[in-house]
Homo-oligomer: A and B are copies of this chain.
């Protein structure tokens, strides 16, 4: 910038003014400065500008579990969209379901002075963030609530959604329903299991017919669980899957075996309509999770103060998968 000022024969401050589009600069000078900038290929150093001005870094952080999972990348895309609307860049990081990694990443982002954080928490304690929050860092939790903090969160009504799906199965006469969820360390899985259990209890299904199969993580694990269930003497007549990947694994195995078992599962996704087996899915507005969280975050970043907000998004039931009549072969 000093070089530019020299070349244009003006003060450094005037270059700064031109770069920042201050309106009170003479047109001739502006032109000279711009010319010098072009000639030298000068690009303002935002790091320094930010340091001096004390303004925001125009950067927010998003910490999710796994970027390659459709669910999270959809949220990331929605957050990016909002963030771009506010001229803010987005640092994305995967915690890979590891508590220590989550804390490491979050604190790193704090040191970089991001303007705010959106977090899908992995660990069971986020109190390490309390000092930052006290010092004014806006934080919004998505998909899972924080532990040890009282801040904004945007969640899905997991319990009601799971309950509705299982009630649907029960209303069709199914009594032996296998419930497969991922690890109960995950909040959403606990909630969905509880919702399923509520439905089973309300229908007075005897406890010995509550089949909880734990805890497939990969689709192939779910396929293995299904294989085990259907090799048993009295297999279930219906299956409820706790998330999209379990659903995919289960469907793959059921189709492989030619089982016509009734299937329901959590998560609706672009591809669900093409599943080779009818499925009742619990859907919700995934982009809305990201959009709401980001908009809430920016309201806080822009200084709005309101008590912590806890959004709970509704779910819907939908029929997906190819109906038998339409299928190839």
Q: How far is the CB of A239 from chain B (nearest CB, A)?
A: 13
Q: How far is the CB of A202 from chain B (nearest CB, A)?
A: 30
Would B51 and A278 count as touching, CB distance under 8 A?
no
Chain A residues 36 to 69 lying within 8 A of chain B, measured CB to CB, are 41, 43-48, 50-51, 57, 59, 66-68
Number of this chain's copies in the complex? 2
Chain A residues 10 to 51 lying within 8 A of chain B, measured CB to CB, are 41, 43-48, 50-51
Q: How far is the CB of A20 from chain B (nearest CB, A)?
A: 13
Q: How far is the CB of A214 from chain B (nearest CB, A)?
A: 23
Q: Given contacts A51-B48, A77-B68, are A255 and B91 in contact (CB under 8 A)? A: no
A263 to B38, CA, bound (A): 53
Residues of B within 8 A of A108 (CB): 89
Would B92 and A90 count as touching, CB distance under 8 A?
yes
Number of contacting residues on A, CB 8 A?
A: 64
- In the complex, which of the residues B73, B251, B276, B326 contacts A76, with contact meaning CB atoms closer than 8 Å? B73
Would A68 and B74 count as touching, CB distance under 8 A?
yes
Would B326 and A327 count as touching, CB distance under 8 A?
no
Would A327 and B255 count as touching, CB distance under 8 A?
yes
- Whether, in the assembled complex, A6 has its beta carbon less than 8 Å from a beta carbon of chain B, the answer is no
Residues of B within 8 A of A248 (CB): 270-271, 274
Would B76 and A43 count as touching, CB distance under 8 A?
no
Residues of B within 8 A of A134 (CB): 41
Residues of B within 8 A of A91 (CB): 59, 89-92
Would A274 and B251 count as touching, CB distance under 8 A?
yes
- In the complex, which of the residues B254, B322, B325 contacts A276, with contact meaning CB atoms closer than 8 Å? B322
Residues of A within 8 A of B (CB): 41, 43-48, 50-51, 57, 59, 66-68, 70, 73-74, 76-77, 80-81, 84, 89-94, 107-113, 131-132, 134-135, 219, 248, 251-252, 254-256, 258, 260, 270-271, 273-278, 322-329
Closest 5 CB pairs of A and B: A324-B329, A73-B73, A68-B77, A276-B276, A67-B77
